[in-house]
Each structure stands twice: as C-alpha cells, then as structure tokens.
Amino acid sequence: MKRFLLLLPALFLLSGCSGNWGWYVVDPTTPNGAANLRFLISGAYNTVLMSVTAILISITLGLLIALPGLSAKRGWRALNRTYVEIVRAVPILVLILWVYYGLPQLSGITLNVFWAGVLALALSDSAFQAEIFRAGIQSIHKGQYEAAQSISLSYRDTMRYVILPQAIRRILPALGNQLVYMLKMSSLVSVIGMQELTRKANELVVSEYRPLEIYTILVLEYLVLILIVSAGVRWLERRMNAAEA
C-alpha cells in the first residue's frame, strides 16, 4: 500500500510536464488544495458506512434466500431461483433509481438517500450472496450432516454449529470480493444525491473545472479503501485457517 501512496506526490510533479494540467487544485501545500482534498476525503465516511451496512444486510438476506434453494421441495427451490434470477437481471443503477423514486409511490414509504442506497445495494447483492452461500453449504460433505444427526442436533443447530462455520471459511474470499464490489458500486448512489466520494468529486469538478486531477484523486481514494479491505479479508482468512488448524 505504501507504494501506491508514494504515487500521490509524483502526481503533483507531473504539473510541470504540461501547461494544460493543474495539479495545484489538489496540492496539499496550498490552502485551496488542502481544502479541496479535505472536501474529497470527507465523502469516505458515507461511502464506507453505506457499503458496510449494505453488505451486512445482504449477507443476512442472502443466507435466508439460500436456505430454500437447498430444500428437497421443488416449491422452495423455485422460490429461490425466481428471486435470484429476477434480482440479478436488474441493473444496480436502475434498482437504485427505482427504490428512491418508485418505492414511495408504490408503498408510501419514503426513504432518505442513505437508506435508499443501502436498500438498493443490499437487494442487488443479496442474490449474489445467496448463490455464494448455497455453493458453500453444498460443498460440505454429507457426512457432516449425518454426524450431526447422530448426536440428535436439530436442523437449526446443525447449520449453526456444524455446517455454516465450515462453509464460511470456504466462502470468505468470495464474501470479501463482494465487499469490494459493494464499495465500487456505492459510487452509483451519487445519482440520487448521496454525499459520498464520487458525489464530492463531481461537485468539486463543477466548481474547479479540473476533472483529470480530481478524478485521479478519486481513483486513489477507492484504491486505498479496497486495498485496506483486501488486506483485512486476507488477515481474517489466515486467522480462521489458523484456528481450524
């Protein structure tokens, strides 16, 4: 990560390569540049909060949706497939707009931009989470279920104490990948006015007329966030593997 952070000062050195570039707009050594950087970084809180809230909801919802897909009854499996196929077919940007503008007219429930974004992101991701959980649970050997039944564990306890802990270890990289996906897709919530990283960058571009420089900082912001998340997932994966060993 340090290598990427070292690229930031190098960007300002590029200002001498072309008269059309104006890295001064994000130069931390000037009052205006420092103020612009603080304005850009201020959107990180909403981006992270929205993404983490949405991923927690989508994981819970995805698990609940995955369980019917494991049922021996065709009706439950059909319910799972219908939900997954419909939600996966809707582009996330369209879903964000529908939740924010359409849901109030349909149900009378009005959501602010934060919760509209969280709901849309969680619904969209829940279909992918359901498939991840279904694949993870199905990867557990049948002998684990038989062993749990031999000691009279209920279906709920079997899932809670035997199956899910093993499945989560296997799907942890996929769950981490979905969190990275959520961080990136949260930028689309800017279309309904959410004051996150992308919205802040767009507003600054309008006032400063320096899209190249400002969007370059935006790219670096997302890069740093995703590198932190990736490092955290790898650390958690090592801890879980060490505990299992």
From 78, 50, 58, select the one nearest 174 (Cα to Cα): 58
Percent of the chain exceeding pLDDT 90 equals 53
Q: What is the pLDDT of residues 76-132, one digit of tens each?
A: 999 999 999 999 999 999 999 999 999 888 888 888 999 999 999 999 999 999 999
Q: Which of 43-47, 137-141, 150-154 has the lowest mean pLDDT?
A: 150-154
Hey, what amino acid is at 19?
Answer: G
* Long-range pairs for 22-27: beta carbons < 8 A, 24 or more residues apart: 22/210, 22/213, 23/213, 25/208, 25/210, 25/213, 25/214, 26/213, 26/214, 26/217
Handedness of CA 59, 89, 87, 219 (dihedral sign): positive
Residue 15 in this model has a pLDDT that exceeds 50: no
Q: What gap in Å lies between CA 97 and CA 92, rounded to an integer?
A: 9
- Tell me which DSSP letter residue 16 carries: G
Contact (CB, 8 A) for 119 and 143: no
| pLDDT at site 8 | 54
Q: What gap in Å lies between CA 218 and CA 57, rounded to an integer?
A: 26
At 155, the pLDDT band (50, 70, 90 cuts) reads confident
